[in-house]
Amino acid sequence: MRNSRFDVRPTSPAVGAEILGVDLSKPLSAAETEELRGALNDFGVIFFRDQDLSPEQHIAFAERFAEINVNRFFRSVPGYPQIAEVRKEPKQTANIGGGWHTDHSYDEAPALGSILLAREVPESGGDTMFASMHHAYEALSDGLKQTLEGLRAVHSSRHVFGAAAQYSRDVAGRIGNPDLATQDAVHPVVVRHPESGRKILYVNPGFTTHFEGWTQKESRSLLDYLYAHAARPEFHTRFQWRKGSIAFWDNRATWHFAINDYHGERRLMHRITLEGVPLVRR
């Protein structure tokens, strides 16, 4: 980024950048906020280190970018409904987010993004991987791009957060309100990013169930091909957490995957999710 107020260091050719030279406990100027918004649009996810934020400061930083979405499934931090806990205790084996997905694709207006702050991290392990869905789209053949342009896909929370979902049982006590897991949403398979204008492949293994007008069985082979394609390492970056680290990712432009390789240790993250807008093909 030219003439940047910050030191911006890309973490991979496809996605991610670390932002140095900013203290997020202090109020951002309008110009600084817009520069960080631009970095988010350019890189899909931006990372910060050594940020000692109070919950109030975490909220204030998030509100510079969009209205906060109060998560209806995750347990919140006591006294701060805007902040969701992403927690795994030493005796627990299942983690939250342990598979490729993008948050809130089951909503009619999917979340803009999330701001995850590390409060406690294991001695080793617990990294998060991110994938660029713009680069994944661009690497598809012209013929497949043309096919996908005409498709829409159904996204659901029922099989993840609903009462009958195995995942809900595996992470019992950390998510709730299964009665609210009744909504589905339909989005174009290829969307225009509402800010950058880039084309994005918008399906994900966590919440996409099938193509509109197709059965789940008919959809499976093509969806699995797209998932395997987007999981190629050239589209990825991997972030190693430390206490006080922040990842701010764009849910429209990326997938993420919380690696579950730290059994017997505690990991506690505070997440704020930002409201987005309906996605269109354009």
Per-residue pLDDT, 172: 63
The catalytically annotated residue of 58, 87, 101, 135 is 101
The catalytically annotated residue of 103, 107, 135, 270 is 103
195 phi and psi angles, rounded to 5 deg? -115, -50
Q: Residue 166 carries which side chain, given as an amino acid letter?
A: Q
Does a structural domain hold residue 270?
yes
Does a structural domain hold residue 34?
yes
Per-residue pLDDT, 271: 95
Per-residue pLDDT, 162: 57
* 3 state SS for 61-116: HHHCCCCEECCCCECEECCEEEEEEEEECCCCCCCCCCCCECCCCCCCCCCCEEEE
Per-residue pLDDT, 19: 97
Note whether 191 and 200 are within 8 A (CB). Answer: yes
Tally the C-alpha atoms within 13 A of residue 259's C-alpha that lie toward its C-beta. 16
Does a structural domain hold residue 281?
no
134 as an active site residue: the answer is no
Q: Tell me the C-alpha distance between 212 and 219, whole Å.
A: 9
Per-residue pLDDT, 3: 56
Alpha-carbon dihedral sign for residues 161, 204, 252, 147? negative
CATH code, domain carrying 96: 3.60.130.10
* Tokens matching residue 181: 């897991």
Does a structural domain hold residue 31?
yes
What's the whole-model pTM score? 0.93
103 as an active site residue: the answer is yes
- Per-residue pLDDT of 135-183, as tens digits, reads 999 999 999 999 999 999 999 876 666 555 565 556 666 655 566 557 7
Note whether 237 and 254 are within 8 A (CB). Answer: no
Does a structural domain hold residue 45?
yes
Q: 279 CB contacts (<8 Å, ≥6 apart)?
A: 110, 187, 188, 191, 192, 194, 202, 252
Q: Which of 211, 215, 258, 1 has its CA nearest to residue 114?
A: 258
The catalytically annotated residue of 104, 155, 210, 271 is 271
Q: Tell me the C-alpha distance between 122 and 170, whole Å.
A: 20
- Per-residue pLDDT of 60-74, as tens digits, reads 999 999 999 988 777
Note whether 42 and 51 are within 8 A (CB). Answer: no
Per-residue pLDDT, 70: 87
The catalytically annotated residue of 174, 256, 267, 270 is 256
Phi-psi region of 108 (alpha: psi -120 to 50; beta: other; left: phi over 0): alpha
Q: Partners of 80 in the beta sheet?
A: 77
Q: 98 CB contacts (<8 Å, ≥6 apart)?
A: 257, 258, 259, 260
Q: Residue 115 carries which side chain, given as an amino acid letter?
A: I
Does a structural domain hold residue 47?
yes
Per-residue pLDDT, 1: 46
Does a structural domain hold residue 244?
yes
pLDDT < 50 regions, the chain: 1-2
Q: What's the domain count of the chain?
A: 1
Per-residue pLDDT, 94: 86
Does a structural domain hold residue 2?
no
- Domain membership of residue 109 as a residue range: 7-274
